[in-house]
Structure 1
Amino acid sequence: MPNSLSRHPRLAALALVTPALAMVALFFLLPLLASVVGAFETPEGPGLANFSKAFALYSRDMLFTLAIIGGATLLTGLGAVAIAGYLTLGECPLAVAALRWLYRWPLFIPFIVVGQIARSFLAKNGLMNNALIGAGLLDPLSATGMLDWRGLILAFAWKQIPFVALLVAGAMASLDRGGIEAARNLGASRPRILWEILLPQVAPSLLTALILSFVTMMSVLSVPLMVASQSPTLLTVDIAFRINAYRDYGLANALGMISLAISATVAWFYLRHSLREKR
């Protein structure tokens, strides 16, 4: 058998990729196909009743999901560009080293832990308000919590900024330093160098990282459940509610297909933009 594989490189390559393809088919393609079929199944037969019911009951949550994930993606991009820019252009070696050591920590924290951290930090009696009250910057009677849409955006952005910053900082580090030094010699400020020289060159890496972050945040259940599960809420919470409370897999599958369509639409715009640039 090894001799026959060595004589036929294509068979050897096929033998190597077959286990991976089988795993993808078993754990991704088959569940996806079952969800697509289940979304159109109704007691009266195949139809669009589940989608009509989804839009009738959860159209507000769909808009809320788009707003929260879009806002978190925007904040993630701004934070990642700021961190990557300082890592590339920072003039204080100690600050650059400290930032490089600190900003990656959330990468290794699961989303369920992020939800618990957000609850402990952003609650009315949480760490943030207690610190502000202790410093005399906030009156105890006026303290309010942020376990709402603001907490969702902050929790998502805090988790995803290190991932995007890591990719963007790597892309910036691979650029030729000659243009940066020339801009500095001509008197350009660091924000101008970042905005006009570095950012246009690393835009593809930034957009790729933001698309991946958008899709990741669309699929998270633990953070909205722990931070802001009241109405309106994210579609992942609605899907879990329909399954746990009503065993309504048809409507849950329809909501899942709508989430998939939102993510696919964002990815399509990115691919279209990339193809235009290559042409």
Structure 2
Amino acid sequence: MTHTFTLLLTLLGVQFVTTTFKICAFNIRSFGRAKAANQKVMGALVQILSRCDISAVQEVRDSRGSAIQVLLRELNRYDHSHHYSRLESKRLGRGSYKEQNVFVYRMDVVSVTDWRQFEDGDAGNSTAFVRGPFAARFHSSYTAIMDFVLIVHHASPREAVHELDLLFGVCNKLMEQWKTQNVMVLGDLNAAGAYIPPNAWAGICLRSDLAFHWLIGDTEDTTVSHRSCCAYDRIIVHGEEFLGAVVPRSAKPFNFTQALGLSEEEALEISDHYPVEVNLQLSPKAQREL
């Protein structure tokens, strides 16, 4: 590790400051007990995640559930101005390979009012997701929109085209069930490169329906490696009300390699993906409290 990285991780009292409500999705490659026991990796993770009011953490690979408990403990130790909690999906995947999606959120700022785990066949299609999406409904008096739904999904690379289309059905089901149009899809959708042939985009309803706004563009790079440049990780917002609550041009990957002064090798110890993030406008109440 470089001297700069070590210094950043030991001076954990220095935190990122935000004056907006930030939502992010972060595929922390194979996050389990080994990474949770690595103090330098965990130090970086808490700095990254403490920037966000809600983080959709992906690729949690720990059957005992201890890794995410360590992450929450370290977040709460690091950021005394908030209290972090979590909402976990079931363990997802076919065969022996299993992973979880976990919403990590500041429970003093936002609350969970409902949630749903999508299972095989829930999208009304004979071919199901490899790993079903996980959805939660949130309420916060600190955001301009106040009530909204987040759907986090880690798409199977080989089934990315099909699963993106299935997500369209998932969104419609939740909008009908929860009587809201304010839906955001986020996560590692593998929505780029060889996984989505150019001629496939026109047939993906989640892309062609004008009510859905893709906030992370096709030319963005959400990968850590210098040898790749792909927008695998996305944030997609449904409806004009939700779009209007988004801070313009705030949706982007967070390049923690640059922010933490890391080498590529050091960054890849954390993940091979960058988080994608977006800011929501604050409510009048939150603006008065700044």
Shared topology, TM-score over 0.5? no
Between structures 1 and 2, the one with greater helix share: 1
Give the TM interval when normalised to the shorter protein.
under 0.3
TM-score relative to the length of structure 1:
0.23
TM-score relative to the length of structure 2:
0.22
Tell me which of the two structures has the higher relative contact order, counting C-alpha pairs closer than 8 angstroms and 6 or more residues apart: 1
Structure with max Cα Rg: 1
